[in-house]
Amino acid sequence: MLRGISDRSHKRNNPLNLPLLRWAKEGCKKTEGKRYSSRKGENDMPSYDPYRKPQEIRLEDIPWGSIKKFIPPSLIIVFIIITGYTSFYTVKANEEAVVLRFGRYIKTVGPGLHSKIPYHIDRVLKGEVKRIYNEEFGFRTESRGASFAVNYDYPDAAEEKLMLTGDLNCAEVHWVIRYKIKLIEEYYFNVRNVRETIRGVSQAVMRTLVGDRSVDEVLTIGRTEIEQKAREDIQSVLDSYKCGIDIQTVLLKGVDPPAPVKDAFNAVNQAIQIRDRIVNDAEGQKNKILPAAEGKKEQVIKEAEGYRIRRVNEATGDVRAFLAVFEEYKKAEDVTRRRLFLETMAKILPKCEKLYVFDKEIEGFLPILGLHEEDVKK
């Protein structure tokens, strides 16, 4: 069998296989006498006992001379592959990268394929600058999606969420900070641990803002103001540290009283809601009544103003008429006096039932009029 393999290998003209086949033949000759069985009827077939001892391979039997000539080309190929692999890098679309040369910052590059000096002379640190990072305080979101779960009892939860208000009450505050990397070189090189810095600054700012307000403001009307002020203060502190962080939002997820006094706080909130409802109803009634009263007042004022203007105009007209008559009277007093007398008599006499004409020289004319009679109307 070995001779057949050897003959076929010779025909292939492979220089690397020739020394290996010679070495295999010599080994087979040394052990040829031991591999045949002495039993009769077996036609001198070799024994392939599974428990036989395998042939030992010695280093001096390996043909190193033929192998050495393939080592330099192999090393060159490996060198080219390693050089090409370490000379190029890719930055994803949502990333930026900083390049370090011997540990010193050189430049910042954007998305795409870039080159660098290989063999760790240039090092590349990548960061996702378009990703929104979350930091949760007072709770932990353990799973998302369909199996959404929130843990409020993780270690150090009470230390994070329990805060003292300005009126010496306690409140449990849960909030979330969303941020992204603004300057990746500042993010990597100016602060040792950016995440812990953000958490520390956020807790300090939030405790300061809660401590400046009463518990009612924190629980109700002051939440929006706290969120806006917290974002501004946290951003200001991080900018002074040059962390390269841009705070997107600060969101108060919940502000609750501590568990031992939660029922009392709920009762107070319910009373406040009832009070607000009553006040709103009263305001509604006031808004209905006051406009009607104001309208009526304006109407009366307008009517009085109209009456005043009418009476003033009438009096003014009468005065002007009287003055006109008086001017005419002064021009001819006797004639005017007689005319006025006659005009007046013309208006009065048609309305009288009885008419008496007396001489101006008659005295004591009362008995003549019969004023003592009962049918005379006074």
Indicate whether 369 pLDDT > 80: no
- The pLDDT tens digits of the residues spanning 329-356 come to 788 778 878 888 888 888 888 888 777 7
Burial class (CB in 10 A: 0-12, 13-18, 19+), 265: middle
Q: Tell me which range, 35-39, 46-50, 202-206, is most confidently predicted by mean pLDDT.
A: 202-206
Question: What's the half-sphere exposure (Cβ side, CA atoms, 13 Å) at 365?
Answer: 8
Bigger pLDDT: 144 vs 305: 305
Amino acid making up residue 37: S
CA dihedral sign of residues 63, 66, 67, 72: positive
Q: What is the reported pTM?
A: 0.55
pLDDT at site 104: 93
CA-CA distance, 63 to 24, in Å (whole number)? 12
- The pLDDT tens digits of the residues spanning 113-160 come to 999 999 889 999 999 999 999 999 999 888 766 677 888 888 888 888
pLDDT at site 52: 54
Q: Tell me which range, 37-41, 81-85, 128-132, 268-272, is most confidently predicted by mean pLDDT.
A: 128-132
- The pLDDT tens digits of the residues spanning 244-267 come to 999 999 999 988 888 888 888 788
Tokens of 24: 């295999």
Within the chain, where are the H helices?
A: 2-12, 17-30, 64-68, 71-87, 157-161, 184-189, 194-211, 215-219, 223-241, 262-331, 333-348, 366-369
Indicate whether 11 pLDDT > 60: no
Bigger pLDDT: 52 vs 315: 315
pLDDT at site 18: 46
Predicted confidence band at 363 (pLDDT cuts at 50, 70, 90)?
Answer: low
pLDDT at site 368: 56
pLDDT at site 43: 47
pLDDT at site 56: 65
Range 299-321 average pLDDT: 92
Percent of the residues in the chain that have a pLDDT greater than 90, as a whole number: 40
Amino acid making up residue 163: M
Average pLDDT, the chain: 80
β-strand pairing of 170-181 with 133-137: antiparallel
- The pLDDT tens digits of the residues spanning 166-200 come to 888 888 999 999 999 999 999 999 999 999 999 99
pLDDT at site 377: 47
